[in-house]
Homo-oligomer: A and B are copies of this chain.
């Protein structure tokens, strides 16, 4: 049987962009934000200086040095055996991030082949059976099952069109146990 195709987002799903925002914001301003302060708000608007935060996204090193989200390496390594897996990341808005994201994947997810990586502007043309993403704008166009990965900015969303997964343990349970790959 053909493997089912699984599309996995990078930012806020594999890469801990929220921690990176908090760290860079503290280094720039001295102000230490808590994840609690960011709940239910778009990332930039949740910080007292939205322009500064948006500038981080264009700054070399921001994506390259982002920490890895707990559990993602182990679970994605397992999923990679059972699914036709693709990493799909919106990167075109920040051209400096193209090579940074690819290098980041090579460092932290060396078992992901370059043929499995897609860097795009919009994810509308991407099709598959499952998509794990933290943004409704990406999930809404997707033809398969939509898994909403919990991030501070999406904490308020409660909608049965999406299956919420709070962490990689929940993804493992859902995609490796519930969907037993017969």
- Could you list which residues of chain A lie within 8 angstroms of chain B, going by C-beta atoms? 5, 7, 84, 86, 88, 92-93, 95-96, 98-99, 102-103, 113-122, 124-128, 143
Contacts and interface: CB of A to CB of B under 8 A. Distances in A.
Copies in the complex: 2
Contacts of A119: 98, 118-120
Nearest to A90: B115
B5 A125 contact: yes
Nearest to A103: B95
A93 B114 contact: yes
B116 A122 contact: yes
Nearest to A5: B125
A125 B7 contact: yes
A113 B121 CA distance: 9
